[in-house]
């Protein structure tokens, strides 16, 4: 199953703006990898340094595209319904939220770092609301919800597990719908160290367990959005000091830049710290001013709009994903049709050469003999752990 990253947060922080900006169509992709997609699921792009320049070839990508040596690889992003206090008891769109969040492997938690929206997402004076409270609220609601799921059958699970000693297995069975596996439950239980008399565990213990499960199974980062508003700066520092992984962001700036680029008014590459106006005479004064503002308040100050950084960070930092380039001909770096470096695969942390074979084609995995590290001309076994930017040929019988 492919990986899914979800956008969460209270209402009006900019989740949808981020989603629209990140999933805006940039180019036609020949080999569209996702067939049916729900309306709130879109395609964003992971940006990595392509291997084309290193090998000195002109590539002809199929499942991705390459802009001047940067490979853009489609990944899935889901815009999850806004969350308010009490969501774990069904308040607001609580149930919808929790339904969506199940499928996510990692979470981008969007906050209004400028502090101009209150607990419910209503507009207030910039700087008057503390976004740290929002992060805590969302985490608490998530934990309460997860705890309530565990609590439902806890008595039985605890009793059975005391007898058969298989708590992780019994609990994981209850949590499969949430993309939480046995290994992750084991890890959480171990971390808590509450002992094996499960029937003695209190409600608070279960809440702690839910918290650990969240941290392990839904790694997350904080997107400090609306950084174009000056009151955001101090809150970004405070969020970082609290120990969160923080990406300063202006989703609105990214949206503006992508729209201008699509309209042919500017040259802009997502994730970049600059843009180039193509023909100033084609821009209205308002447009020019808006672009100037993005340059001054966002790009110069923070180095980028943060949208691309957040997508990359969620895959590489949170999930430890790697991007690999499978080829059939190790000399020409082509597939059977002569496309150069046709595909870039995003693989989960710890994936092996055999996993890659499986991702390419199940037949390839069934008859797997060995893989070749094209860069070094070395043979690799089925259990070789993939590294980022590996170029591999898979040889099968």
Ligand X SMILES: Nc1nc2c(ncn2[C@@H]2O[C@H](COP(=O)(O)OP(=O)(O)O)[C@@H](O)[C@H]2O)c(=O)[nH]1
**Is residue 394 helix, strand or coil?**
strand
Report the residue from 105, 143, 252, 335 that binds ligand X according to the rule CB under 6 A: 252
Nearer to ligand X, 157 or 229 (CB): 229
Rule CB under 6 A: say whether 87 interacts with ligand X: no
56's tokens: 């000195």
Instruction: Compute the least distance from the CB of residue 120 to ligand X, in Å.
Output: 11
Choices 66-74, 249-257, 365-373, 378-386 (CB under 6 A): range interacting with ligand X: 249-257
Report the residue from 5, 6, 8, 17 that binds ligand X according to the rule CB under 6 A: 17
Instruction: Compute the least distance from the CB of residue 47 to ligand X, in Å.
Output: 20
Where do we find the tokens 């947060």? 9
Nearer to ligand X, 82 or 131 (CB): 82
Instruction: Compute the least distance from the CB of residue 394 to ligand X, in Å.
Output: 42
Report the residue from 6, 14, 61, 248 that binds ligand X according to the rule CB under 6 A: 14
E-strand ranges in 214-367 read: 220-225, 246-248, 266-267, 276-277, 322-327, 345-347
State the Cα angle at 76 between 70 and 80, rounded to 5°: 135
Rule CB under 6 A: say whether 258 interacts with ligand X: no
Site string for Mg ion, 4-23 (x = CB under 5 A): -----------xx-------
Site string for ligand X, 31-60 (x = CB under 6 A): ------------------------------
Q: Which partner from the list Mg ion, ligand X, none does 352 bind, CB cut-off 5 to 8 Å by kind?
A: none
Distance CA 146, CA 207 (A): 8
Q: Which partner from the list Mg ion, ligand X, none does 228 bind, CB cut-off 5 to 8 Å by kind?
A: ligand X
Distance CA 321, CA 75 (A): 11
Q: Which residue is nearest to Mg ion (CB)?
A: 16
Q: Which residue is nearest to ligand X (CB)?
A: 14
Residue 37 half-sphere exposure, CB side, CA atoms within 13 Å?
Answer: 17
Rule CB under 6 A: say whether 15 interacts with ligand X: yes
Q: Which partner from the list Mg ion, ligand X, none does 342 bind, CB cut-off 5 to 8 Å by kind?
A: none
Rule CB under 6 A: say whether 82 interacts with ligand X: yes
Report the residue from 161, 184, 225, 314 that binds ligand X according to the rule CB under 6 A: 225
Report the residue from 12, 60, 179, 396 that binds ligand X according to the rule CB under 6 A: 12
Distance CA 376, CA 314 (A): 30
Distance CA 136, CA 220 (A): 13
Q: Which partner from the list Mg ion, ligand X, none does 14 bind, CB cut-off 5 to 8 Å by kind?
A: ligand X
Choices 33-41, 222-230, 259-267, 374-382 (CB under 6 A): range interacting with ligand X: 222-230
Rule CB under 6 A: say whether 250 interacts with ligand X: yes
The per-type count for the chain, helices as H runs and strands as E runs, is: 15, 14
Report the residue from 85, 100, 105, 228 that binds ligand X according to the rule CB under 6 A: 228
Instruction: Compute the least distance from the CB of residue 265 to ligand X, in Å.
Output: 20
Contact (Cβ atoms closer than 8 angstroms) between residue 343 and residue 64? yes
Rule CB under 6 A: say whether 13 interacts with ligand X: yes
Q: Which of these, 190, 262, 306, lies nearest to 24 by C-alpha position?
A: 262
Contact (Cβ atoms closer than 8 angstroms) between residue 167 and residue 112? no
Instruction: Compute the least distance from the CB of residue 81 to ligand X, in Å.
Output: 9
245's tokens: 């992984």
Instruction: Compute the least distance from the CB of residue 253 to ligand X, in Å.
Output: 6
C-alpha torsion angle, residues 94, 99, 100, 106 (rounded to 10): 100
Nearer to ligand X, 141 or 390 (CB): 141
Site string for ligand X, 295-314 (x = CB under 6 A): --------------------
Distance CA 29, CA 44 (A): 12
Give the CA radius of gyration of the chain: 23
Give CA separation, 338 vs 49, 106, 335, 395, 396, in Å: 22, 36, 5, 17, 19
How many other CB atoms sit within 10 Å of the CB of residue 84? 18
Helix or strand run (H / E) with residue 393: strand 390-396
Euclidean distance between the first and final Cα of the chain, in Å? 26
How many other CB atoms sit within 10 Å of the CB of residue 132? 18
Query: Which residues of this chain interact with ligand X, rule CB under 6 A?
Result: 9, 11-17, 82, 225-226, 228-229, 250-252
Query: Which residues of this chain interact with Mg ion, rule CB under 5 A?
Result: 15-16
């Amino acid at each position: 199953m492919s990986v899914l990253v979800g956008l969460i947060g209270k209402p009006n922080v900019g989740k949808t703006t981020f989603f629209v900006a990140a999933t805006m169509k940039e180019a036609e992709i020949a080999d569209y990898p996702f067939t049916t997609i729900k309306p709130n699921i879109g395609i964003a792009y992971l940006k990595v340094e392509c291997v084309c320049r290193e090998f000195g070839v002109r590539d002809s990508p199929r499942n991705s595209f390459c802009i001047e040596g940067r490979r853009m690889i489609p990944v899935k992003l889901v815009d999850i319904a806004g969350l308010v206090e009490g969501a774990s008891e069904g308040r607001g769109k609580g149930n919808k939220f929790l339904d969506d969040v199940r499928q996510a492997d990692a979470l981008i938690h969007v906050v209004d770092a400028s502090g101009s929206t209150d607990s419910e997402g209503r507009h207030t004076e910039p700087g008057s609301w503390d976004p740290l409270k929002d992060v805590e609220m969302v985490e608490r609601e998530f934990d309460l919800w997860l705890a309530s799921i565990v609590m439902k059958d806890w008595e039985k699970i605890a009793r059975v597990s005391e007898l058969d000693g298989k708590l992780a297995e019994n609990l994981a069975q209850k949590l499969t719908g949430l993309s939480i596996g046995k290994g992750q439950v084991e890890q959480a239980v171990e971390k808590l160290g509450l002992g094996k008399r499960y029937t003695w565990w209190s409600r608070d213990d279960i809440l702690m367990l839910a918290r650990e499960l969240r941290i392990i199974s839904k790694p997350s980062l904080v997107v400090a959005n609306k950084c174009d508003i000056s009151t955001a700066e101090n809150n970004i520092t405070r969020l970082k000091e609290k120990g969160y992984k923080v990406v300063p962001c202006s989703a609105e700036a990214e949206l503006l830049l992508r729209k201008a680029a699509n309209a042919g008014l500017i040259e802009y590459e997502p994730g970049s710290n600059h843009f180039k106006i193509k023909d100033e005479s084609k821009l209205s004064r308002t447009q020019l001013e808006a672009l100037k503002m993005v340059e001054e308040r966002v790009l110069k100050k923070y180095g980028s709009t943060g949208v691309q950084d957040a997508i990359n960070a969620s895959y590489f930092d949170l999930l430890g994903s790697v991007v690999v380039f499978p080829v059939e001909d190790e000399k020409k770096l082509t597939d059977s049709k002569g496309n150069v470096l046709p595909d870039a695969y995003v693989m989960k942390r710890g994936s092996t050469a055999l996993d890659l074979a499986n991702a390419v084609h199940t037949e390839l995995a069934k008859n797997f003999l060995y893989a070749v590290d094209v860069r070094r001309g070395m043979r690799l076994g089925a259990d070789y752990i993939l590294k980022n930017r590996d170029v591999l040929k898979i040889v099968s019988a």
